[in-house]
Amino acid sequence: MKKTLLYLLIFLISYSAYAQDVFVKAEYPAVVNAGEQFTVMWTVNAGGGEFTAPSFNGFYKLVGPQTSYSSSTQIINGKISNSTSYSYVYYLQAVKEGKFVLSPAVFTLKNKTYSSDSMHIEVAGTTSQKQNVTSGNNNSASDQEVESSGKDLFINLSVNRKEIFLGEPIVATVKIYSRVNIAGINEIKYPSFNSFLRSDIETPPLTSLRQENVNGTIYGSGVIQQFLLYPQVTGDIKIDPVQISVLVQKKTRGESDPFFGDFFSSYQTVPKAAASQPIRIKVKPLPGVQPADFSGVVGKLDIKATLNKESVNVNDAVNFKIVISGNGNLKIASAPVLKLSPDIEVYDPKITDDLKNGQNGTTGQKSFEYLMIPRHNGDFTIPRVTYSYFNITSGRYEKLTTEEFHFNAQKVKGQNTGATVYGEVSKEDVKYLGKDIRFVKSDPGDLKKSGNILLSKQSFYSAYAFSLLAFLLILFLRREHIRRNSDLSQVKNRKAGKIAIKRLHNASVCLKNDEIDQFHDEILKAIWGYLSDKLNIPVSDLTRTNAIVSLQEKGIEEDQIMKLSEILDKCEFARFAPSSSGTEATSIYEGASQFIKSVENLIG
């Protein structure tokens, strides 16, 4: 029975291996020195087939192939997954200088052939010669000349373009080159990139160095960080050098043993610093005349607009959303300008973005969501919105246009909308107030000279002594009052309850006059002002989160805090869509009053 289960398991593993996609992956050094020995390896994720290596023209084959096999099986949530790997390793020696291309290796399985990629290997000579950096990676640094000056360690800052238009992105790459063992990076100081809008490009952490040929010398190199830079001014802009400090391993005892090599040698880490060369970028102004609706974006854009409702009640909100998508400096994209009727109240847009930085610039989308409230009934139109940008490919300004939208606002029966509002200003008839200025009486009247002198009376001196005592008493009380009021936080704490009661009184007056919008504003002013004074938190720093934390620290019960959050939510919602009933407003008033009284009783 056990043998049967084992055979069945082997069959399932073999079947899953044949069912998966077969690939042949090659691993090799991009640059080697003439006479250097190195290894090349092909990895196949399937077995049972025939592997055929290419002819190693230009190289001398020392050993190979050496084969190895590995397999792993995982069972996760009842699902069986299997991975198989066969490796074929060859040891080669470089014979002469030059650039060589090895043909793909071929793996044949069930009359089907699978090939690897070609190998591109450069053999560098021992003499120094002037040439560009050659590597296996196609990045911005590979297109630029790097001056090593015979150093064992240096750093290079390169850009993919040195002459661009205003707002056009460039990719800056920071790369390290080393011929010594690096134990770690101690510190990196990047330039400030003045006059550029900088965004970091996601760069994999540097865990190992790859061989590159720099002026005939083999270096280990790796990309430390890449940046996406958008110029904000025109002219000749200088980018300062990158400074780096690394820890280098240095052998401190003896020479290499002919039998044991460096096994018994000791090392210490010493700091070593390097700096790149500065770079100058020429930024040209955008050609032509900028249109009035220019967004500031340089790239390629698209626009889309949506309206969530076509019919609403008066004083209800509708959402108008504009989405700008594409490639370019979308971070500085300005909000589209809406030309609406003054009968529509519109708030500042809520801006959200989903952007990603890459080698080709910033891609993604940026949305602008406008909240609109019609203040009287009728048919309304949202005109076409225009949005211009500069297209780098065509070299000219292009204009995007949305479609026209329509919606209807209906008046609900029994709804008191108050005075008709045009541009947030109530239209009222001019009232004649009459003559409200009275002249001063010009008749001097009957004037008589008094015969009594005040200084001759005893009561004057009594009043003088009494006034002096009263002055000293008032002076003492005044100083005591100043001393008590010198601590503003304590003063606000003592008066918080009284001020909140006055604001609640104003809210009750608004409720009686059926001014629901003003009522919610007064409730919010009362609560936030009371919390700011009582908890000693400035209004600019006061948020719902830190207010709740402070209340909890002072021992306020959770049910009171929950009631506070419910009152704030109701008031804030009613400000955007003022359709609350009188009963709900009364419950909000009573809840706010009860909360303030309970806090006053607990923390005084």
How many domains does the structure of the chain reveal?
A: 4
**Can you give the pLDDT at residue 429?**
43
Any idea which of 151-155, 190-194, 509-513, 537-541 has the lowest mean pLDDT?
Answer: 537-541
Calculate the average pLDDT of the chain.
78
Any idea which of 325-334, 404-413, 589-598 has the lowest mean pLDDT?
Answer: 589-598
Respond yes or no on whether the N-terminal peptide bond of residue 65 is cis (omega within 30° of 0): yes
Select the more confidently predicted residue: 552 or 19. 552
Look at residue 402 and tell me if it is in a domain.
yes
* Same domain as 144, residue 73: no
* Same domain as 298, residue 232: no
**Can you give the pLDDT at residue 236?**
92
Would you say residue 240 has pLDDT above 60?
A: yes
* Last residue in a domain, options 262, 284, 306: 284
Amino acid at position 91, single letter: Y
Look at residue 579 and tell me if it is in a domain.
yes
Summarize the confidence of residues 539-547 as an average pLDDT: 79
Look at residue 385 and tell me if it is in a domain.
yes
By the 8 A CB rule, do 249 and 262 touch? no
The pTM for the full model equals 0.48
In the sheet that holds 405-410, the strands lie side by side as 311-313, 405-410, 378-382
SS (H, E, C) 72-121: EEEEECCEEEEEEEEEEEEEEEECCCEEEEECCCEEEECCEEEECCCEEE
| 478-530 residue pLDDT tens | 888 777 666 666 667 777 778 888 888 888 888 888 887 788 888 888 888 88
* Same domain as 541, residue 597: yes
By the 8 A CB rule, do 189 and 148 touch? no
Q: How far is CA 398 from CA 102, 119, 390, 571, in A?
A: 48, 45, 6, 44
* Same domain as 159, residue 83: no
Highest-pLDDT range among 472-481, 491-500, 532-541: 472-481
* Same domain as 299, residue 280: no
Would you say residue 84 has pLDDT above 60?
A: yes
| 255-301 residue pLDDT tens | 555 544 555 566 777 788 888 889 999 999 988 888 888 888 898 99
In the sheet that holds 182-189, the strands lie side by side as 182-189, 243-251, 267-275
Look at residue 451 and tell me if it is in a domain.
no
Residue 299 sits at the vertex; the CA angle it makes with 298 and 305, to the nearest 5 degrees, is 100
**Can you give the pLDDT at residue 430?**
46
* Same domain as 309, residue 185: no
Q: Report DSSP letters for 460-526, one per residue.
A: HHHHHHHHHHHHHHHHHHHHHHHHHHS-HHHHHHHHHHHHHHHHHHHHHHHHHTT-HHHHHHHHHHH
Distance of CA 54 to the CA centre of its chain: 50
562, 565, 558: which is closest to 543 by C-alpha? 565
Distance of CA 478 to the CA centre of its chain: 54
* CATH code, domain with 89: 2.60.40.10
> Where in 505-581 does DSSP place strands (E)?
none
Look at residue 497 and tell me if it is in a domain.
yes
How far is the C-alpha of 148 from the C-alpha of 37, rounded, in Å? 25
User: 162: domain range?
Assistant: 140-284
* Last residue in a domain, options 391, 422, 453: 422
* CATH code, domain with 219: 2.60.40
Look at residue 85 and tell me if it is in a domain.
yes
Select the more confidently predicted residue: 113 or 460. 113
Would you say residue 137 has pLDDT above 60?
A: no
Tokens of residue 153, six digits: 């360690």
299, 445, 411: which is closest to 360 by C-alpha? 299
* Same domain as 238, residue 312: no
* Same domain as 274, residue 198: yes
* Last residue in a domain, options 254, 284, 314: 284
* Same domain as 299, residue 254: no
Summarize the confidence of residues 349-361 as an average pLDDT: 88
In the sheet that holds 79-94, the strands lie side by side as 24-27, 37-44, 79-94, 59-76
* Same domain as 231, residue 335: no
Look at residue 458 and tell me if it is in a domain.
no
* Same domain as 154, residue 120: no
Q: How far is CA 303 from CA 322, 359, 386, 561, in A?
A: 7, 23, 9, 44
Tokens of residue 504, six digits: 């609640």
**Calculated CA dihedral for residues 518, 523, 528, 531, nearest 10 degrees:** 160
Any idea which of 228-242, 386-400, 423-437 has the lowest mean pLDDT?
Answer: 423-437
* Same domain as 300, residue 416: yes
Q: How far is CA 349 from CA 337, 367, 399, 578, in A?
A: 11, 9, 21, 19
553, 515, 521, 520: which is closest to 535 by C-alpha? 553
Look at residue 189 and tell me if it is in a domain.
yes
Would you say residue 420 has pLDDT above 50?
A: no
